Chain A
Amino acid sequence: MNKALHQVGEYVQLMGKCIAIPDRWSMFFKQLIKEIYKLGVDSLWIVIIISVFIGTVIAIQISLNISSPLIPKFTIGYTTREIILLEFSSSIMCLILAGKVGSNIASEIGTMRVTEQIDAMEIMGVNSANFLILPKMVGMMTFIPVLVIFSMFTGILGGIAASYSAGTNMTPASFEYGLQFYFTEFYIWYSIIKSVVYAFIISSIAAYFGYNVRGGALEVGKASTNAVVMSSVMILLADVIMTNLMLT
């Protein structure tokens, strides 16, 4: 319990150090663009591939499980859309990104710590937390909503592709009708808002574990694992809280 409280205290202190006006805006924007590219744009393909396949699988599984003549066929499209918009493209996709991006951030900052690169910055008078972490946080919070929108779009495309495939009891027309049936625009905003919070969770927790590494390569590996586990748990917790706050 003491250790947990100590870690929370360290995390808050780090955020206090990190969330400050950058020493040089030109350097901040240079870093920001690098981070958006490295953490966001480089994740685009994995997001698209996963979303297309999961969208297809969701549509097929729903069509196979809804065989009652009392349930209309458009329910398949409707349910696929709701799953993708409400949960998959934001929460599940961010859990996947916590693994990819979170471990990247923790290991990068952790390696910089154990090789004294962070100490070198501090000696120069640079606020290392602000210089290293803030662009990652801002970059993630800016670009993850874009990834989520891509995920929604490609996930639904995957579902549409499934509706054209043989062996399922749905038609493209009924699927498309289901996609448009009782559409609530707010669900898109709900997903985007959630993803911004998840982006903050992933980047800040991973940065915290990386920044506080002490030791060598083994500890960097442990920090990377801890960062992924902790950010995944916090994403799930935040999901419950935000769903209760925004949908009920």
Chain B
Amino acid sequence: MYNFLTGPGLCLSIGICLIGLLVRGVWYVKGLNWQLDRVAYTAHPKAGIKGAVRSIVFWILPFGTRSWRAQPFMALLFYTFHIGVICIPLFLEAHQMILQEKLGLSFALLNQNLADILSWGVIISAVFLLLRRIALPEVRILTTKHDYVVLFLSVAPFITGLICRYELGNDSFWLLAHIISGEMLLIAVPFTKLSHILLFFMSRAQLGMDFGIKRGGMKGKGLTW
């Protein structure tokens, strides 16, 4: 079981995730239409690229936009959550060993203390994101089951991972649970809102091009995000 999950299972789930995302990306770009979207995407490449880059960079920078600054607590939860969910799967030492062994890939390693902090950061921020969904009327009214499922899918590998890390309960059970939850997450990416892993960049670039090309980007200093 373990061998299957860390062998073909891992390759399959990574493959579904990457190919699925690739399809989503291609489908997104193919669906853009300069006349329907009313953005001359290719006519002004310089302004378009500048707009797209600004739109992505300001939103990735912590507190880089007025929106983030207006909601500092949410911004803190957002960044804590996202830094953890990006860094842990890629750079945790245990993950690196598997990647090295199966795929021959290797990145920089996370030190264990930092990995613990990031993992706990994900769990704690997820709890607050959940509470925020329930407590704030303006978020509650928008929330659907999909949102809870996606949050659960995202956090499950961290909960099971920490159980393994602290060696609570039955080791082999929790390790399998961890791998399964991680692979479920990977498989879910292209088919759920988790596709924002890629589509965030696409959507931000698109709006950035809209403002950069059509809505004033060529008139002055550009939009203040």
A is bound by B: no
Residues of A within 8 A of B (CB): none
